[in-house]
Amino acid sequence: VTTIGVLTSGGDAPGMNAAIRSVVRTAISRGIKVMGIRKGYNGLLAGDVFEMDTRSVSDIIQRGGTILQTARCKEFITAEGQQRGADMCRVFGIDGLVVIGGDGSFQGAEKLANLGINTIGVPGTIDLDIACTEYTIGFDTAVNTAMDAINKIRDTSTSHRRCSIVEVMGRHAGYIALWCAINSGAEMVLLPEVPRPSDEEIVKKIIENKNKGKKHFLIVVAEGVGGAEQLAQTIEKVTGIESRATILGHLQRGGSPTAVDRMQASMMGAKAVDLLCEGKAKRVVAYINGQYVDYDINEALKMTKQLDPYMYSLSDILC
C-alpha cells in the first residue's frame, strides 16, 4: 500500500482517537501516506478527505469521541453509493482503508473490498457486540463511566432507602449491563439475552431482600430490554418502596478513555496497518485469548457469541 485512508463510522466510542493516532503514526513510520476521512462513509462520498501527519494526531490519546467525527450513511448501503465510495478512494489515491466501527461499518468495508479497495476493520463500539473479538474499543471506558454513575445513584438511594432502576447502554447486547451489575452489586440485572423475569418475580425478590435488611435496591436494565420507568412505577406501587428510574444515556459514550481502551486501540490500530503492509485485505482485527488476530470480514460477520453463563450466574450470587 502507498496511501492508507482512515475513518470512524457508526456510534462513537472512547478510544477511537487512540486508534486513529496509532494508524496514522504506524503508517507514517513505514513511509505510507495517510488520509483522514471525516464523518464516516458520508465524508468519503463527499470527498471530505485530508492528508494527516504525525502532528494531526497530537494531544488526542486522552480524549473521548473521535476527531474524525462519525456518522451513519444511508447512501452507502446502496450499490451506487458503494461504487462512488470506491471511486472516491481512487481519486485520493487511497489503496488501503482502515474502518473503525461496529458490524454495520464492517459490512460497508466488505463492500468496498469487493470493489478493489483493501479494507481492514477495527472493532470500535462500547457495546462489545462484535462476535469475532473478545474486546471492542470503548467498552472498558463505558462500563467505568456507568459504574461511576451507579455509585453516585447508590449513595443517595441508600440514604433514602430507595429502589434504583438504572438503564445502561448496549443496544441489543447485555455486556455493559452485566458488567455494571456484577461490579456494582445490583440485586438484579435484566439482559436481552436472558428471558425477562416477570414483574411479580422482581417484586418478590425486592421484598425478600428488604426482609433480609437490605438498605437499598439496585436493578440494572440493559437498553435492549428497556422499560425502566414503568418498572419503577410497578415496584413503588406494589412494595411501597420509593423507586426511581435513571436512564444513563449518552454520558456513557464520552470521557477520557481508560488505560485498557488506549492500549487496545493502539495495538489494534497498528495491527490494521501491519495487515495492509502484508498485503492483506477484507480482514477484521480481533482480540482473542490475549492475542491480536485477524479474520475474513465475511467470516467475522457470520460469527455469533454468547454472554458467559457463568458470569451471569454470579450476578445472582454476589448481590
State the catalytic residues.
127
Q: Which residues inside 52-91 make contact with ligand ATP, applying CB under 6 A?
A: 72-73, 76-77
Tell the burial category of 213 from Cβ atoms under 10 Å away from its Cβ (0-12, 13-18, 19+): exposed
CB-closest chain residue to ligand ATP: 104
Query: Does 262 contact ligand ATP by CB under 6 A?
Result: no
Cβ-contact 113, 90 below 8 angstroms: no
Mask for 12-51, x = binds ligand ATP (CB under 6 A)? -----------------------------x----------
Residue closer to ligand ATP by CB (options 9, 66) is: 9
Residue closer to ligand ATP by CB (options 103, 294) is: 103
Residue closer to ligand ATP by CB (options 96, 101) is: 101
Query: Does 105 contact ligand ATP by CB under 6 A?
Result: yes
- Selected binder of ligand ATP within 5, 15, 104, 269 (CB under 6 A): 104
Query: Does 108 contact ligand ATP by CB under 6 A?
Result: yes
- Cα(88)–Cα(30) distance, rounded to whole angstroms? 24
- Cα(142)–Cα(256) distance, rounded to whole angstroms? 10
Cβ 216 to ligand ATP, closest distance in Å? 32
Stretch of residues binding ligand ATP (CB under 6 A), selected from 9-17, 139-147, 176-184, 292-300: 9-17
Cβ 108 to ligand ATP, closest distance in Å? 3
Q: Which residues inside 190-219 make contact with ligand ATP, applying CB under 6 A?
A: none
What 195-202 contacts at long range (C-beta under 8 Å, 24+ apart), as own/partner pairs, is 196/225, 199/231, 199/234, 199/238, 202/231, 202/234, 202/235
Query: Does 243 contact ligand ATP by CB under 6 A?
Result: no
> From the annotation, which residues make up the binding site?
11, 21-25, 72-73, 102-105, 125-127, 154, 162, 169-171, 185-187, 212, 214-216, 223, 244, 250-253
C-alpha cell at 257: 478513555
Q: Which residues inside 122-181 make contact with ligand ATP, applying CB under 6 A?
A: 125, 127
- Selected binder of ligand ATP within 96, 101, 121, 123 (CB under 6 A): 101
C-alpha cell at 259: 488505560
Stretch of residues binding ligand ATP (CB under 6 A), selected from 103-111, 149-157, 197-205, 243-251: 103-111
Residue closer to ligand ATP by CB (options 76, 175) is: 76
Cα dihedral 251/252/258/261 (nearest 10): -130
Residue closer to ligand ATP by CB (options 86, 191) is: 86
Query: Does 261 contact ligand ATP by CB under 6 A?
Result: no
Residue ranges in contact with ligand ATP by CB under 6 A: 9-11, 41, 72-73, 76-77, 101-105, 107-108, 111, 125, 127
